[in-house]
DNA sequence: TAAATTTGCGCAACCGTTTGTCCAATCATT
DNA sequence: AATGATTGGACAAACGGTTGCGCAAATTTA
């Protein structure tokens, strides 16, 4: 009811200067033990709480991190944000959220609002179609550091954390080869995507490791839609060589592919085996989960990205020491069930 | 590079008082048109942006809403937060996020930090085990309004939005009755949960509508763990009456139950049929998705809750006009596949 | 033409906290 | 005992913007 107690209030009651009270509360050595105790006691008694907005204003700092990402309903991002939040909280930072819903315009607007809210820094995973990065460049002028994660811009001089699909893909293909599969199809993503290129590279290298020939016609670029996946499957199943295993771009694609295979009368894990990349946490509930899955460590990515941002903010890292962390993906074999 | 322009800066250049500039920028009628124009032009030229932290401080308002919920990786909540965010953004509010991970201690800490960050209001869905509400009561002292959603406290005089499981349950059971099922099992949640009681009530009413007798021994309270579900299934399948359909507490429970049924050699949708409550967006990828599912409208709940909070903040709603919105759940029949 | 209004803007206080500087009193040094 | 060093605290400005009030000039009214 009465206004929340302020430092001035405490100062007045104790016949001290506000500055003294402030210092006393911060255990400043220049303040005598006796007054320090008196101040702290009264503060406790009055349930004094520093007014953060005043501090933010005064310090030009809000202890708030802005997060811009496409879509929380995607498991990858909801895991990533947990990593972000946990890490931020440890350093007493809060997390301001904005979903772009994969819309560049929304993304721009969110960045603008967050800038106005004076977030100390930004963690960003790009909207699918964002190709113009002006709204991020602009932040340099305001000295707001940005760390990108997972979906990173094609731009030099940025901080980012991303996962490299190559390592996981090598492992995935090797896993299949080891199990005797020789003709392995790949339902890949759009060709321009770095993630697709990495998958291709992984496929090639895995074959090379076994001194086997890489057959590009087994590697199909699809568009990640259900129809696109079905078309890719059609192609693959019609291939002159008999395909016994398929590496799918992600779990969604994998499921669509499985469905198609079932329709064609194939028996999963017998006639044809699937390996995928983990986007889903619920694979244990899926009808035919992939036999193995490439883990991309979303939590870890969020964590790393946040750590970098925090170091940037604390000055431990200078803004032009561009951090570009690549987290190797890794194959995880599904537990038998 | 030079510090961002301030009102004072503009005032100095134009030989005006800061107050005049401020009013000019706000189109205050007492400021002459000519000076108003001059000010606005220079502001544009200098790319003046009001310092929000200064405004927050001065106005004692942050245009920030705190969201406390258990777990974003649960589809229900990630949908809810979309509703929250979209609604908040429309009114130029930002959203500060905190996950309790279903831990009451974390929940308390988050609320504390958010209070210190001076959020204008809070949207809360309780951690599973929270039974003490002191950390929310405390907010009244600070005049921070709270609107609960979905997981609401058992406490009078609060604002909340929740869904009523009764209506959906009536529809679910009726759906099964209509399809000829006469002995319908229910795997319910913990007895104390309001949501469980609503399910029971719905079950009873649906039977009553058809002048059928409600058999309590068909309605099992389980604990939502996999093991609990399996025990419930054991009981149900051992029931003296032959159960042909089951209403499961949610999709997770449903899947565990399906798994058990399969192990027992039952054929899904023939020997036994499942109906559930939608927590998962991915039912289309599940092996045996429930035949129908009760929709709880998470997006809508988030939206409604936010609207109430915003009205509370704008004064359109007085804090003691307790809003208690119940959204009826509704059965959604799964598309054939 | 004098009085009453209106118009347009400046002054100053204020929001709560932090921090650089200055001053007085106390203490130690020689 | 005079000087210097240390201690403990006060003063005031600053962060950027808002707002109540006052006041002069311009305008209208009687």
Residues A135-178 have pLDDT tens digits of 999 999 889 999 999 999 989 999 999 999 999 999 999 999 99
Q: Same domain for A183 and A198?
A: yes
Whether residue A140 lies inside any domain: the answer is yes
pLDDT of residue A320: 93
Per CB-CB distance under 8 Å, the chain A contacts of B50 are 116
Nucleotide nearest to A51 (CA to C1'): C16
- Which positions on chain D have an atom < 7 Å from some protein CB? 7-20
Kindly report the CATH number assigned to the domain that includes residue A265.
3.40.50.2300
B330: left (phi over 0), alpha (psi -120 to 50) or beta: beta
Residues A280 and A171 in one domain: yes
Does any domain span residue B114?
yes
Residue A125 has pLDDT above 80, yes or no: yes
* DSSP codes of every residue in B269-327: TTTBEEEEE---S-GGGBSS--SEEEE--HHHHHHHHHHHHHHHHHTSS-TTS--EEEE
Closest residue, chain B, to A97 (C-alpha): B95
User: What confidence tens digit (pLDDT) does each residue in B104-118 have?
Assistant: 999 999 999 999 899
Residue B337 falls within a domain, yes or no? no
Q: Residue B193's closest CA among B153, B137, B159?
A: B153
Domain assignment of residue A160, yes or no: no
**Which residues of chain B neighbour A64 with C-beta distances below 8 Å?**
96, 117
Instruction: Indicate whether B334 belongs to any domain.
Output: no
Q: Is A19 left (phi over 0), alpha (psi -120 to 50) or beta?
A: alpha
Q: Establish if B102 belongs to a structural domain.
A: yes
Q: Does the CB of A274 have a partner CB in chain B at under 8 Å?
A: no
Specify if B335 maps to a domain: no
Interval B289-316 mean pLDDT: 94
Q: CB count, 10 Å around CB of A44?
A: 9
Residue B180 has pLDDT above 70, yes or no: yes
Partner A contacted by B62 (CB < 8 A): yes
d(C-alpha A129, C-alpha A103), whole Å = 7
Q: How far is B17 from chain A (nearest CA, A)?
A: 22
Count of domains observed in chain B = 3
% of chain B surpassing 90 pLDDT: 80
B169 with B252, same domain? yes
- The pLDDT of residue A176 is 97
Q: Does B78 touch chain A (CB under 8 A)?
A: yes
Token pair, residue B232, equals: 């419930």
* Nearest residue of chain A to residue B5 (CA atoms): A142
The CA R_g of chain B, rounded to the nearest whole Å, is: 27
CB contact under 8 A, B94 and A75: no
B271-282 tens-digit pLDDT: 999 999 986 666
Mean pLDDT score, A291-315: 95
Same domain, B248 and B266: yes
Task: Note the CA–C1' distance, B17 to D28, in angstroms.
Answer: 28
Q: What is the CA radius of gyration of chain A?
A: 27
A272 secondary structure, DSSP code: B
Query: For residue B60, which residues of chain A lie inside 8 Å, CB to CB?
Result: 53
**Residue B334: DSSP 8-state:** P
User: Is residue B163 a contact partner of residue B134, using CB atoms and an 8 Å limit?
Assistant: no
For residue A274, pLDDT beyond 90: yes
Dihedral angle of Cα B36, B42, B47, B52, to the nearest 10 degrees:
-40
Nearest CA-CA partner of B6 in B68, B50, B61: B50
B96 near A CB under 8 A: yes
Q: How confident is the model at residue B20 (pLDDT cuts 50, 70, 90)?
A: very high
Residue B33 and residue B17 share a domain: yes
Which residue gives the smallest C-alpha to C1' distance to D11?
A: A17
CA of B138 to C1' of C2 (A): 64
Q: What is the pLDDT of residues A170-216, one digit of tens each?
A: 999 999 999 999 999 999 998 888 889 999 999 999 999 999 999 99
Closest chain A C-alpha to B44 CA, distance in angstroms:
16
Q: Is A60 on the interface with B (CB under 8 A)?
A: yes
Tell me how far apart the alpha carbons of residues B239 and B235 are, in angstroms, rounded to a whole number.
Answer: 6
- Lowest-confidence region among A103-117, A217-231, B260-274, B275-289: B275-289
Cβ of B56 within 8 Å of Cβ of A60? The answer is no
Cβ contact B117–A52 (<8 Å): yes
Are B105 and B123 members of one domain?
Answer: yes
DSSP letter for each residue of A98-124: EE-TT-HHHHHHHHHHHHHTT-SEEEE
The H-assigned helical ranges of chain A are: 7-14, 18-25, 33-46, 52-59, 75-90, 104-116, 134-141, 165-178, 194-209, 226-237, 251-263, 298-314
Give the C-alpha separation, A111 to B222, whole Å: 46
Q: Which residue is the nearest neighbor of D9, CA to C1'? A: A20
φ and ψ at residue B12, rounded to 5 degrees: -60, -50
Q: Which of residues 190-249 of B touch strand D (CB under 7 A)?
A: none
Q: Are residues A111 and A175 in the same domain?
A: no
Domain match, B43 and B85 both = no
Distance from CA of A278 to the nearest CA of B (A): 14
Say what the pLDDT of residue B2 is: 62
- Is A66 within 8 Å of A100 (Cβ atoms)? no
Same domain, B35 and B80: no
Cβ of A94 within 8 Å of Cβ of B75? The answer is: no
Residues A268 and A171 in one domain: yes
CA B327/CA B330 separation, integer angstroms: 9
3-state secondary structure of A138: helix
Say yes or no: A178 and A66 in one domain: no
Give domain status of residue A18, yes or no. yes
Domain residue limits at B142: 62-162+298-328
Give the end-to-end CA distance of chain B in Å, rounded to a whole number.
61
* A3 Cβ under 8 Å from any chain B Cβ: no
Q: Which two tokens stand for residue A127?
A: 């909207």
CB B270, CB B84: distance < 8 Å: no
pLDDT > 60? residue A337: no
Note the pLDDT tens digit of each residue in A62-76: 999 999 999 998 889
**Residue A15 Cβ under 7 A from any strand D atom:** yes
* Nucleotides in C strand less than 7 A from protein CB: 7-20
The reply to whether B133 and B200 lie within a common domain is no
- CA→C1' distance for A28 and D4 (Å): 25
Å: B126 CA to D18 C1': 39
Q: Given CB atoms, is A79 within the 8 Å cutoff of chain B?
A: yes
């Amino acid at each position: 009811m009465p206004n929340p107690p302020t430092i001035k209030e405490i100062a007045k009651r104790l016949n001290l200067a506000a500055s003294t009270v402030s210092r006393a509360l911060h255990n400043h050595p220049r303040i005598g033990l006796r007054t320090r105790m008196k101040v702290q006691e009264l503060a406790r008694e009055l349930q004094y709480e520093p007014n953060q907005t005043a501090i933010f204003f005064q310090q030009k700092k809000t202890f708030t991190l802005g997060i811009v990402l496409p879509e929380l309903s995607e498991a990858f991002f909801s895991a990533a944000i947990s990593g972000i939040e946990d890490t931020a909280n440890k350093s007493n930072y809060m997390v301001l959220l904005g979903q772009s819903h994969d819309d560049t315009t929304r993304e721009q607007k969110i960045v603008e609002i967050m800038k106005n809210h004076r977030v100390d820094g930004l963690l960003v995973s790009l909207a699918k179609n964002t190709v113009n990065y002006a709204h991020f460049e602009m932040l340099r002028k305001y000295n707001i550091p940005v760390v990108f994660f997972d979906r990173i811009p094609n731009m030099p001089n940025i901080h980012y954390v991303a996962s490299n699909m190559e390592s996981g893909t090598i492992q995935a293909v090797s896993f299949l080869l080891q199990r005797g599969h020789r003709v392995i199809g790949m339902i890949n993503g759009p060709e321009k995507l770095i993630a697709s290129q990495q998958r291709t590279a992984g496929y090639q290298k895995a074959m090379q490791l076994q001194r086997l020939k890489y057959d590009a016609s087994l590697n199909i670029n699809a568009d990640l839609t259900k129809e696109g996946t079905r078309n890719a499957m059609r192609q693959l199943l019609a291939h002159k060589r008999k395909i016994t295993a398929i590496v799918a771009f992600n779990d969604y694609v994998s499921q669509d592919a499985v469905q198609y295979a079932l329709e064609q009368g194939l028996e999963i894990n017998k006639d044809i085996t699937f390996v995928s990349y983990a986007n889903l946490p619920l694979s244990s509930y899926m009808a035919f989960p992939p036999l193995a899955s490439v883990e991309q460590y979303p939590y870890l990515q969020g964590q790393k990205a946040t750590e970098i941002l925090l170091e940037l903010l604390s000055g431990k890292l200078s803004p032009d020491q561009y951090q570009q962390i690549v987290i190797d993906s890794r194959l995880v074999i599904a537990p038998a069930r």
